[in-house]
Amino acid sequence: MKEIRLDKFLADMGKGSRSQVKQALKKGLVKVNGAAVKAPEQKIDPQTDQVSYDGELVSYQRFAYYMLNKPAGVVSATEDRKERTVLDLLGGEKAGGLFPVGRLDKDTEGLLLITNDGALAHRLLHPGKHVDKTYYAKLAGEVTPDMVRAFAQGLSIGDEKPTLPARLVVLESGAVSTVEITICEGRFHQIKRMAKAVGTEVLYLKRLAMGPLRLDPALAGGQYRALSETEKEQLLR
């Protein structure tokens, strides 16, 4: 395999930012094939060299997968000249080539998968795959049985075709209603436009699930973690 810089390898494997990794190298915490190495520019072959960090072997993984609880106010992009992006929340240089799988609006919160696995992203986002996405929402006013039926039938939201059937589950109906909505497409502002089409308005929106992946309730807004082995298996199978 192509050789890469030791500091890049460690940062890509989630051991910290490039500067944190350089500090660790300086302290002698990193060994390559049993010998301490302090030079961040040292080249290694990730598949054949044995790298340890603070006494633990760092195994090579081609792809990185994180779940982020996106807070409101950051954009789902890899870079932006004005706005803070979801990648800024991951420390900017955590791993090479990371990108968010799909987009949440700037004011939407919740589950965002961040990876550098393009094939997985393609599978999850492909319009023909109909991957379920579940959101918790607050809607203005009461939610009527007619609205639930309209969501279930599919709605005309100004696109060429109506939406596919969606599930609207009422948690509480009142002056501000709380609901769970599951859609299997990913159209621009889809939930907000569906809400508008039935005469209401989204006051708050948070994604709870995407395919088999559920937002970890232990993650506060802005926090992220690597996916567990089980979560990875469920997503990749």
Give CA–CA dist 79/84, Å, rounded. 8
Establish if 166 lies at the interface with ligand URA (CB under 6 A): no
Q: Give the nearest distance from C-beta 101 to ligand URA in angstroms.
A: 13
Catalytic residue among 105, 132, 159, 216: 105
From candidates 68, 75, 90, 104, binder to ligand URA by CB under 6 A: 104
Q: Which of residues 167-196 bind ligand URA (CB under 6 A)?
A: 189-192
The stretch near ligand URA (CB under 6 A) out of 35-43, 101-109, 158-166, 168-176 is 101-109
Give CA–CA dist 160/140, Å, rounded. 27
Establish if 132 lies at the interface with ligand URA (CB under 6 A): no
Nearer to ligand URA, 94 or 206 (CB): 206
Buried b / exposed e along 92-116 (16+ C-beta atoms within 10 A): ebbbeebbbbbebbeebbbbbbbbb
Q: Give the nearest distance from C-beta 205 to ligand URA in angstroms.
A: 6
The stretch near ligand URA (CB under 6 A) out of 60-68, 86-94, 102-110, 223-231 is 102-110
Nearer to ligand URA, 90 or 104 (CB): 104
Nearer to ligand URA, 108 or 115 (CB): 108
Write out the catalytic residue numbers.
105
Which residues sit at the interface with ligand URA, rule CB under 6 A?
A: 104-105, 108, 189-192, 205
